[in-house]
Structure 1
Amino acid sequence: MKIQSHFADLDTPTGVMRTYIHRPVGEGSYPVILFYSEIFQQTGPIERAARLMASHGFAVLVPEVFHELNPIGTVLGYDDAGRDKGNADKENKDVQGYDTDNEALIKFAKQQSWCNGQFGAMGYCIGGHLAFRAALQPEVKGTACFYATDLHIQKIPNKPGQHSMERLADIKGELLMIWGKQDNHVPSEGRTLIYSKLNETDIPFTWHEFNAEHAFMRDEGDGGRYDAQTAQIGYQLALNLFSRTLR
């Protein structure tokens, strides 16, 4: 489908959050995917991925995940300075801020004529974790998490009992968990811990591990990580999930 792109500045309890919107051209209402970026916010690879998903008949919302900590429109570079800034931002925003961001996104989308009331979530790296966090919202019926960081450790600031893995009972939709076996950010013992915790619940989930590195979906920066063929499989798995849970 042909798509259009624009943005909206949403009020949240922690400040204005710019949100980029990619959706089909013309009249019609579509399922909404809340799409969460890496620590670098909406870079070229994230925008291209969001537009790809939108072209399959979804309205895709990409929020600036660290809007409280940067000027509106900030995009960090895929370099040491950008990585250091993004990681510092991650350690300076507590998890409740993401919850109120999710609530603001869903409230905004429900008021738009292009939203049909069906919600999913998707994200890469910390965005995979934030998509997992979005799954705590009762409206979210399907969530695709790509190499989600910090689910297996306490890195993002949390209040007691608020770590994402401590809130599994609040997840009502289906999860798709995708990992690279050569991911140095989420080692095998971390993946085993997450899998074991999920397997103790009634949450419907699928689990895929590929011979790939962290950020294998990203088609820019960190040369050598991008795996185009495996990335295409990842997109197809996500589209399958959303077609089943949001249509």
Structure 2
Amino acid sequence: MSGVRSDGAQSGGVRSRTVDITTPDGTADAYFTCPDGGGPNPGVLFYMDAFGLRPHLQAMADRLAGHGYAVLVPNVFYRAGRTPVFDLPEFIDPQARPEIFERIGPVMQALTPELAMRDAEAYLRFLADSDDSGDGPVGTTGYCMGAVLALRTAAAFPDRIAAAAGFHGGGLATEADDSPHLGADRITAELYFGHADNDHALPPEQIDRLNAALTDAGVRFRAEVYEGAAHGYTQADTASYDEAAAERHWRNLLELFGRTLR
């Protein structure tokens, strides 16, 4: 497979394939991409947004792999079916098609924190067993709902996760008893968050609560609000895409992984 990125720029050559990962509850299909050369390479667990595993996320994973990482993008909704779980338009505009979330919502709700972390163990085992990645420190990055999964994974597997990032995440620090921020005291990874501006899914009080929890737990982290960027700003196949904010996300993500996984 060529190393041409989705933005038309040239990255390192990558090779990719669809893989099946055995979990305690079945088989999760996933996209796995890595540098076109010898391994092992630092592993990255890439968590999708609610729209699911699709060509745009594969292109993002390829771009990351072109910088020297073995990237796994699991279909975290595999219990509802193999990719594609949802019949989505090529360009996603939820305001024009509100029924999209009517289909996605119940599947999201069914993925409980317990199920998600049970799956995460299987995803991390795949990376550890692969000759392309190996059992070294792993990074994780997540988008929208994937930011929640990245934060939970950092807390659940502190011996494996060396770096975690979340972009335009929602519900990171709610008042619920199982809010993701409550695992801060178990995190040993370095974290980075690129929050969307004026995001209904992550209001200022949640950002403050998350920052306080991480600070109190002594977690190394940086959190920034991307001014003017809407929820979903990294996703070029959606109406929320913001090219400048998306490129800023790439700079910060690559800087984090370059420092912690090399």
**TM-score normalised to the size of structure 1?**
0.91
Distance 2:46 2:102 in 1: 22
Contact 1:181 1:187 in 2 (8 A): no
Q: How many Å separate the matches in 2 of 1:28 and 1:50?
A: 17
In the alignment, does 2:110 pair up with 1:92?
yes
**What amino acid is the match of 2:174?**
I
Residue 115 of structure 1: SS of its match in structure 2?
coil
Q: Which amino acid aligns with 1:14?
A: D
Partner of 1:213: 230
Paired-residue identity, % = 26
Q: 1:148 corresponds to which residue?
A: 169
Unaligned runs of at least 5 residues, structure 2: 1-11
Aligned to 1:66: 77
Q: CA–CA distance in 2 between the matches of 1:149 and 1:14?
A: 26
8 Å CA contact 1:39–1:126 kept in 2: the answer is yes
1:154 Cα deviation from its structure 2 partner: 5.9
- TM normalised by structure 2 equals 0.86
Deviation at 1:82? 3.0
Q: Which residue of 1 aligns with 2:121?
A: 103
- What secondary structure does 2:163 align onto? strand
Alignment gaps of 5+ in structure 1: none
Q: How does 1:133-212 map to 2 (within 5 A)?
A: 133-136=152-155, 137=157, 138-153=159-174, 162-211=178-227, 212=229
Is the contact made by 1:146 and 1:179 (CA closer than 8 Å) also made in structure 2? yes
Whole-angstrom distance in 1 between the partners of 2:71 and 2:99: 28
Greater CA drift, 146-155 or 121-130: 146-155
Deviations 1:50-83 (A, max 9, x none): 1111110001100011111x22122432343332
Over the aligned positions, Cα root-mean-square deviation in angstroms equals 1.6
1:231 aligned residue: 246
Q: How many aligned positions are there?
A: 239
Structure 1 segments of 4+ aligned residues over 4 angstroms from their partners: none
Deviation per CA, 1:16-43: give whole Å up to 9, x if none.
Answer: 1111101111222100110001111112
